[in-house]
């Protein structure tokens, strides 16, 4: 059984490796047939090697806006941002079960959401479709109660 210090060191090492992968993944050349076009500041999640769970700040960068964190809780982290294209609500979750609970609650209101592994983005449907090639995920329509 590992001590708390051993677990913390393992976690720090794993985090460093993920960061290293993210940094080195951005150095590749452009594929002419790439489905997601990206510029130097807007790299697709797939090309950047972003793996779930993404951070609110990473998703905001891919959306082209600066985020303001409005909720910091054990179950979720939520930020809002505004770009020239529109407003975004970005929510990330430490576990998939929290995302599923959030989606169940949001179903009361209906609407379309861009949903990935442990994250959800809320915005106008056309903005979600524009972000999907860079971020991944699927657009899900939740039925509201009438």
Render pLDDT for 58-104 as a digit per residue (tens, 0 to 9).
Answer: 999 988 899 999 999 999 999 999 888 889 999 999 999 999 999 99
pLDDT band at residue 11 using 50, 70 and 90 as cut-offs: very low
pTM of the shown model:
0.64
Sign for the CA dihedral angle at 30, 33, 39, 42 comes to negative
End-to-end CA distance of the chain: 53
Place of tokens 């860079």: 134
Render pLDDT for 13-47 as a digit per residue (tens, 0 to 9).
Answer: 333 333 333 333 333 333 334 333 333 344 445 54
Place of tokens 């479709």: 129
Contact 63, 88 (CB under 8 A): yes
């Amino acid at each position: 059984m590992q001590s708390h210090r051993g677990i913390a060191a393992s976690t720090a090492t794993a985090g460093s490796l993920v960061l290293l992968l993210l940094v080195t993944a951005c150095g590749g050349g452009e594929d002419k047939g790439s489905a997601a076009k990206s510029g130097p500041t807007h790299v697709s999640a797939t090309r950047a090697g972003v793996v779930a769970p993404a951070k609110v700040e990473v998703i905001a960068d891919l959306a082209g806006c600066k985020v303001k964190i409005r909720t910091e809780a054990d179950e979720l982290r939520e930020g809002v941002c505004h770009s020239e294209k529109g407003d975004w609500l970005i929510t990330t979750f430490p576990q998939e079960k929290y995302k599923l609970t959030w989606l169940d609650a949001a179903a009361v209101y209906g609407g379309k959401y861009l949903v990935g592994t442990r994250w959800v983005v809320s915005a106008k449907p056309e903005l979600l479709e524009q972000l999907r090639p860079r971020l991944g995920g699927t657009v899900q329509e939740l039925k509201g109660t009438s």
